[in-house]
Structure 1
Amino acid sequence: MSVTSEIGAFTAVATVLTVTPGLDTTLVLRTATSQGPRNAYATVLGITAGVLCWGLAAAVGASAVLAASPTGYTVLCGAGAAYLIWLGIGMLRRARTRGRGEETFDTDPSGSVPTREAPLRSWSRGFISNLLNPRFGLFYMATLPQFIPEGAPHFLMGLLLALIHNAIDLIWFSLLILAVRQLGDRLNRPPVQRGLDRVAGVIVIAFGVRLITPVIFS
């Protein structure tokens, strides 16, 4: 197949992967509702940076090394699961303290004026959650070579496909952030914020448990 047809096929696969609700969607929606569009875009940029790293690793064969090393895979799964569970517990704790009217990381001592976290913190949350997810790397390792035509430079083609995936992420998550922004004050009510923190916390913890369960019982 030609380069153009392979790009088209990969775009379709990457689009389905992006729009399917998952951990990235949860992080972006949660950040958009609690921290605003600026921090939500920082989270998106962190996610795309993680995607780019895995795409380049797959292009140069590094993810194949990960797949061939049970120890390396287990360590990365354990680190990723621990991070996600820690992240989810933090969200549940914030939901509980909001419910008691106590101070949280995004509320000032008076409990009335929101204080935004640094965009770098939002970026790192998106980046680390993707970078510590070996399943994402294995997905790239399994699919990316299929979309590189014979004779095409692997690194450059892999970089191009990863950038296409990044563009799809930016478009889709921008639409989600815009939708959250349109809802405005309805999402900023304390009961709604508590509910969103609870739901997001449970989902993120579930992803962490799902990540480590096959390794424990393998």
Structure 2
Amino acid sequence: MPQIFTATADTRLRAVLLLLALLLVAAVLFAGGYMQSSYATLVGWVQDQPVPFSHQHHVGGLGIDCRYCHSTVEVSEHAGLPATEVCMTCHSQLWTGAPMLAPIRRSLATGEPIRWQRVARLPDYVYFDHSIHIARGVPCVECHGRVDQMPLMKRAEPFQMGWCLDCHRNPAPHLKPPEQITRMDWTEWEKDPEAHRLYGALMMKAYGIEPSTLDDCSMCHR
């Protein structure tokens, strides 16, 4: 009876199976690494804007409160983006002929709103309400980082589900006095971790925050 397989067929089959296994492991590692990389999370990336607005100058230098431009953050699920009229409140008097502000002047003349590019964008299937977080004392810096140190706005956090769940499952360390939610520098506050822990525990009780309910799927996927 003629021999169907060569003497090395078994060796070649084993080599192919080993190669496939290695490729599968490499694919899994690559996918995991990619999801944690800045290419996927966009952490540290700057979005091109029609006007190079500097939070470092306006917030850090001039001390403008976040709510001056993001005026609906306390009452709506959306923080809101500044209308042209908000910009022109100051720039009708200051730097009126600056070339970089030409889009603002054109917007005012034509009535066409400025198309700002969202930096902290969540997927459409994720529900997030700014107002409830602000009301409970989650400050802007928790999600958006030290915008007062950003010449151009960039994403500070990954906004992935695991990152959100970490906070929902242990909210206390992230809670601050609601009247100070736009404060950027909490260095002095964090020098007393015990007081911070006690404050977080007290606010959890006062607001009736139950972490066991905050990681329910329907909380963010509605």
Structures share fold, TM-score greater than 0.5: no
Q: Which has the higher contact order (CA 8 A, sep 6+)?
A: 1
TM-score, normalised to structure 1, is: 0.25
Which has the larger share of helix?
1
Which of 1 and 2 has greater Rg? 2
TM-score, normalised to structure 2, is: 0.24
